Amino acid sequence: MADTVIPAFMEKEGHYGTIFENRMRAAGYRGECKYYDVFEAQEYPPIEQLTSSDAVLITGSKSDAWSDVPWVVKLTDYTKSIIGKCRVVGICFGHQIVGRALGAPVGRAADWEVSVCPMDLTPAGRSLLKNVPSDKLQLIQLHKDQVFELPQETELLAKNGVCPIQGFYRPNSLLCFQGHPEYTQYFIESISKTRFEGDRLEDVLARSGNRNDGPALNKDIVRFINGEF
């Protein structure tokens, strides 16, 4: 867990660990889930235990993945050390941390990408993400930072005009997405009301009820965690 959640989320589903566990359970995952707070407590899974783990999932965060804040640097170094030892899933900030750990440039984009947003699946994305219903993946987004270049030895899974690296993959090793497959309409509306106002908030709310492929993508994340690709 790379952040705390707003009170509305905590009351509804708990912290980010339980939110992700709820999504993975709904998508069919049956393994044990353990939570580590890398943000405040700076807890990490012991590396020697990872060979018997299905995967490590790095959550989103309001922090900057490109910053030199000590806990972010520590997380980046840890991520670099575990790649190849177990499967790693990166979501939003976690996607950016994996990109940074692999040497890809990460930084501030020109503007926010928020609410339900469409992106194009690449041929690799279309082949691997079997539960996504079309060539257009629609995910809830909430980011102003992004990975600018595809990390070495990875395949691009999705892209759009706002963010050219929406997802990348390394076989049996890495699966990362800029979007939030764990978010619901309630989540993005609640967060946006604390961060935005005026025309931007109106735009977010106008699109927040559009088709959200998060639940479908979560099924493919579980397939990856279970070693299917």
Q: Which residues are catalytic?
A: 92, 180, 182
Q: Which sign does the torsion angle of CA 185, 189, 195, 201 carry? A: positive
* Separation between Cα atoms, residue 98 and residue 204, nearest integer Å: 27
The residue with tokens 């629609």 is 138
| φ, ψ dihedrals at 40, nearest 5° | -100, -55
The Cα–Cα gap between 111 and 80 comes to 28
